């Protein structure tokens, strides 16, 4: 190739934004000559390099946009520890088919059994397939939407949560949402449902308690559940907290979540009794 042709090629690659092809060209051309490649093989090598680099950049961008609190992977999840889940199901999730089908995944159960781990790991694997994901807690989502309402940017905020291929809604039901925040969350769920875009939800509340989750509005809770469950996989996870298992192994006596709930309920009754007016006023 003469100098003019080399210049024209460099210009064309730049105009087409084929940066990796431009970078890989000299070394690939040398190898092609040394190993006697046919022209299609040469072109295929260059385009494969361009494609791989574009995917790498997209994945890095997707992981940044997703705002995971930390990166977790499905391969690091020990199914034997957590009940209600098996390896085959995790493998099926890893294919990302549920995203194409618009199928929601609901992960329910007590604290420490890996709900957030699985939710993040699902998100990471979707990012790695080149699709957009956003991770948020239910509380953060409702706060952001309330701010949008105050600042007249609600439409934009709702789009922000509607657009990603997968939305992960962590800790639904941990903290009480206020009625307006619950209504805005419901709007996001409706929008995603209409577009058949899936949501992964984690919650410590069983469906019977979802009235509370939606600020005491049982009708809205039922309508939200109706949309979430229509196309869904529900996993009721069980077992002891993974966070506490080492403590238990070391012989530290720890109450179970059920024991803690019982203690909290009896403390509430005690407090109510103490607050009741006595016969002598």
219-258 binders of ligand ADP (CB under 6 A): 242-243
The rounded distance, in Å, linking the Cα atoms of 244 and 102 is: 35
Which C-beta is closer to ligand ADP: that of 21 or that of 173?
173
Strand, helix or coil at 79? Answer: coil
Q: How many residues sit in the footprint of ligand ADP (CB under 6 A)?
A: 16
- State the binding string over 121-160 for ligand ADP (x if CB under 6 A, else -): ----------------------------------------
Strand, helix or coil at 133? Answer: strand
- State the binding string over 16-55 for ligand ADP (x if CB under 6 A, else -): ----------------------------------------
Considering the complex, what minimum distance in angstroms separates the CB of residue 215 from ligand ADP?
23
Q: Is 116 a residue that touches Mg ion (CB under 5 A)?
A: yes
Tokens of 145: 């939407």
Task: Give CA separation, 110 vs 24, 96, 182, in Å.
Answer: 52, 26, 22
Residue 107 β-bridge partners: 202, 235
Among 72, 134, 192, 197, binds ligand ADP (CB under 6 A): 72
Considering the complex, what minimum distance in angstroms separates the CB of residue 170 from Mg ion?
6
Which C-beta is closer to ligand ADP: that of 77 or that of 210?
77
Among 82, 125, 131, 165, binds ligand ADP (CB under 6 A): 82
Q: Are 179 and 217 in contact (CB under 8 A)?
A: yes
Which C-beta is closer to ligand ADP: that of 107 or that of 127?
107
Which C-beta is closer to ligand ADP: that of 70 or that of 155?
70
* Residue matched to tokens 């995944």: 105
Considering the complex, what minimum distance in angstroms separates the CB of residue 6 from Mg ion?
57
Tokens of 22: 């431009």
Task: Give CA separation, 117 vs 92, 114, 173, 245, in Å.
Answer: 17, 5, 18, 16
Considering the complex, what minimum distance in angstroms separates the CB of residue 166 from ligand ADP?
17
φ, ψ dihedrals at 278, nearest 5°? -85, 165
φ, ψ dihedrals at 202, nearest 5°? -115, 140
The rounded distance, in Å, linking the Cα atoms of 174 and 179 is: 15
- State the binding string over 154-193 for Mg ion (x if CB under 5 A, else -): ----------------------------------------
C-alpha torsion sign, points 11, 17, 22, 23: positive
Considering the complex, what minimum distance in angstroms separates the CB of residue 97 from Mg ion?
24
Considering the complex, what minimum distance in angstroms separates the CB of residue 139 from ligand ADP?
14
251, with CB counted inside 10 A (0-12, 13-18, 19+), is: exposed
Which C-beta is closer to ligand ADP: that of 202 or that of 232?
202
Residue 83 β-bridge partners: 238
Residues that bind ligand ADP (CB under 6 A): 72, 76-78, 81-82, 111-117, 202, 242-243
């Amino acid at each position: 190739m003469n100098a003019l042709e080399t210049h024209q090629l460099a210009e064309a690659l730049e105009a087409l934004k084929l940066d990796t092809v431009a970078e890989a060209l000299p070394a690939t051309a040398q190898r092609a000559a040394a190993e006697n490649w046919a022209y299609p093989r040469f072109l295929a090598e260059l385009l494969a390099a361009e494609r791989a680099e574009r995917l790498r950049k997209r994945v890095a961008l997707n992981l940044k946009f997703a705002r995971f609190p930390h990166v977790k992977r499905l391969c690091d999840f020990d199914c034997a520890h957590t009940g209600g889940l098996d390896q085959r199901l995790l493998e099926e999730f890893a294919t990302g088919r549920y995203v194409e089908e618009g199928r929601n995944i609901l992960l329910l159960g007590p604290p420490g059994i890996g709900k957030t781990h699985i939710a993040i790991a699902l998100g990471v694997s979707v990012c790695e397939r080149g699709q957009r994901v956003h991770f948020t807690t239910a509380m953060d989502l409702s706060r952001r939407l309330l701010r949008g309402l105050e600042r007249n940017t609600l439409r934009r905020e709702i789009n922000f949560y509607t657009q990603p291929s997968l939305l992960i809604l962590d800790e639904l039901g941990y903290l009480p949402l206020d009625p307006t925040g619950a209504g805005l969350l419901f709007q996001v769920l409706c929008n995603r449902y209409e577009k058949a875009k899936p949501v992964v939800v984690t919650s410590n509340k069983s469906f019977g308690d979802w009235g509370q989750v939606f600020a005491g509005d049982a009708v809205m809770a039922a309508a939200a559940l109706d949309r979430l469950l229509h196309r869904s996989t529900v996993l009721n996870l069980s077992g002891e907290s993974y966070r506490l298992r080492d403590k238990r192994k070391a012989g530290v006596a720890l109450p179970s979540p059920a024991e803690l709930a019982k203690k909290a309920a009896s403390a509430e009754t005690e407090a109510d009794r103490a607050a009741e007016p006595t016969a002598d006023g």
